[in-house]
Amino acid sequence: MDHLPIRLFDYTDYRAFLKDAFQALKEKDPKFSQRWILQRLGLRSSGWLADLLAGRRKLSRPQAGLVSQVLALTAREELYFQTLVDYDQAKSLAEKNRCYEKLLTFHEIPKDLIDPDRFEYFSHWWIPAVREYLLVEPFRGDAERLASRMCPTISPAQARSAVEVLERLGMVKRYASGELRPSVEHVKKQSQFSAPVHYYRYLKAQMELGMGAMESTPKEERDISAVTVTLSEEGFSKLREELKELRHRMIQLSEAENRKFWKGVDGDSRRVFQAVLQLFPVTTTRNAKEGKS
C-alpha cells in the first residue's frame, strides 16, 4: 500500500485520524471498504468499526498493531499511534500524565497541538500565582523580590523561569516602560486534547498547596472548611450550577478590583488567593449493586 495521503502527526485524536485515513484511502482505492478492513483485522462484527470511531468501543494493543499494519505505518508512526491510544484509554491521571509526557518527545507534532510550555504552566502552583501577582505588582527584573512575594516562597530561579514561561505563552506582555504585566486578566481552560491533563495537574498542585495552608497560614487569613451532605441527582445538578455561579462571581470581583487598583491607587491590599472547590460522591447509590427492581 502507498503511504497515507494524510499526516498522522497532525492528529491528537486517534479516532479522528482513523476516520479521515479510512475515508482518504477509500477515495483513492474503492476496494478499501469497511469489509476489507475488518477482514484484515480478523473481525466478523460488521458494527465494530462504527462503534470504534464513535467511541463506543476501545482499541486493544493487538488491534492497534493490526491497524498500524493495515495502514502501513512506519515504526515511528506506529509508536505515536499507540501512544495516542494509550492516552485516550488511560484509567488514571498518573497514567495519562505518563502518556502525555511521552507525546512531548515527538518533535513531528506541530507546537500548537501539544505545548510543553502550557504543560509546564499547569505543573507548578507558583507559575499561575506569579501571573496573578503581576496584576498587583509588575515585574521589573527583580527575581528575588518576586520570589519572596510567593507564599510559600520560591527560589529566584523559579521566579525567572515562571516569567519566561509566561512570556513564551503570551500570558504577559512588556510595556514601553520595560515592565511586564499580564496580557489578560484571567486564564481560561482550553478545549484542545491536552486540556484535561493540564487542568488536572493544576488542580492537584493547588490541592497539595491547600493541605500545606492548613498548617502554615493563620486562621484569620484563610477559609478552609468541609461539609458532608446527601443529595439527589437533581440536587447535585443544582449545587453544581451554584458552584459555577460562585466561581463566576469570584472572577467578576477580582476583575473589578484589578481595574480599581490598576494604576496604583492608595489602599491597594490585594494578594493572590487560591480557591479549590470540590464536590464528589463518597458512596454509591442505594441500588447501584442490587440493580433496580
Q: Is there a domain that residue 134 lies in? A: yes
Q: Is there a domain that residue 283 lies in? A: no
Predicted pLDDT at 222: 86
pLDDT in tens, 237-289: 999 999 999 988 988 898 888 878 766 656 788 888 988 888 888 787 776 65
What interhelical angle do 75-89 and 61-70 show, nearest 10?
140
142 and 79 in a single domain? The answer is no
Name the domain boundary from 49, 83, 106: 106
pLDDT in tens, 104-131: 788 888 765 656 677 778 778 888 899 9
Out of 17-21, 182-186, 190-194, the most confident range is 17-21
134 and 201 in a single domain? The answer is yes
d(CA 46, CA 34): 8
Q: Is there a domain that residue 64 lies in? A: yes
159 and 248 in a single domain? The answer is yes
CA dihedral 155, 156, 161, 167 (to 10 degrees): 130
Mean per-residue pLDDT for 74-88? 93
d(CA 281, CA 169): 36
155 and 237 in a single domain? The answer is yes
Q: Is there a domain that residue 59 lies in? A: yes
Here the CATH number for the domain that contains residue 100 is 1.10.260
Assess whether pLDDT exceeds 60 at residue 1.
no
Predicted pLDDT at 135: 87
Domain carrying residue 145? 119-261
Predicted pLDDT at 5: 77
205 and 150 in a single domain? The answer is yes
More confident site: 46 or 192: 46
More confident site: 13 or 145: 145
Q: Is there a domain that residue 282 lies in? A: no
Mean per-residue pLDDT for 31-41? 83
Q: Which grid cell sits at 112? A: 500548537
53 and 171 in a single domain? The answer is no
88 and 125 in a single domain? The answer is no
77 and 152 in a single domain? The answer is no
Share of the chain above pLDDT 70, in %: 86
Predicted pLDDT at 293: 44
Q: Is the pTM above the cut of 0.95?
A: no
- Rounded to whole angstroms, the maximal C-alpha distance in the chain is 76
Assess whether pLDDT exceeds 90 at residue 86.
yes
* Range in 14-23, 78-87, 213-222 with the lowest mean pLDDT: 213-222
Assess whether pLDDT exceeds 60 at residue 292.
no
* Range in 6-10, 64-68, 209-213, 228-232 with the lowest mean pLDDT: 209-213
**Number of other residues whose CB lies within 10 A of the CB of residue 252:** 10
Q: Is there a domain that residue 145 lies in? A: yes
Predicted pLDDT at 191: 42
133 and 86 in a single domain? The answer is no
d(CA 167, CA 145): 19
Q: Mean pLDDT of all residues in the chain?
A: 83
List, in order, residues 6 or more apart from 53 with CB less than 8 Å away.
15, 18, 19
Secondary structure string (H, E, C) spanning 165-215: HHHHHCCEEECCCCCEEECCCCCCCCCCCCHHHHHHHHHHHHHHHHHHHHH
CB 99 within 8 A of CB 91: no
Please provide the DSSP assignment of 107-130 as one string.
Answer: TTS-TTTS-HHHHHHTT-THHHHH
Q: Is there a domain that residue 128 lies in? A: yes
95 and 73 in a single domain? The answer is yes
Our count of domains for the chain comes to 2
Q: Is there a domain that residue 142 lies in? A: yes
174 and 257 in a single domain? The answer is yes
Predicted pLDDT at 245: 93
Predicted pLDDT at 178: 86
CB 106 within 8 A of CB 80: yes
Name the domain boundary from 106, 137, 157: 106
pLDDT in tens, 42-53: 887 888 888 898
81 and 141 in a single domain? The answer is no
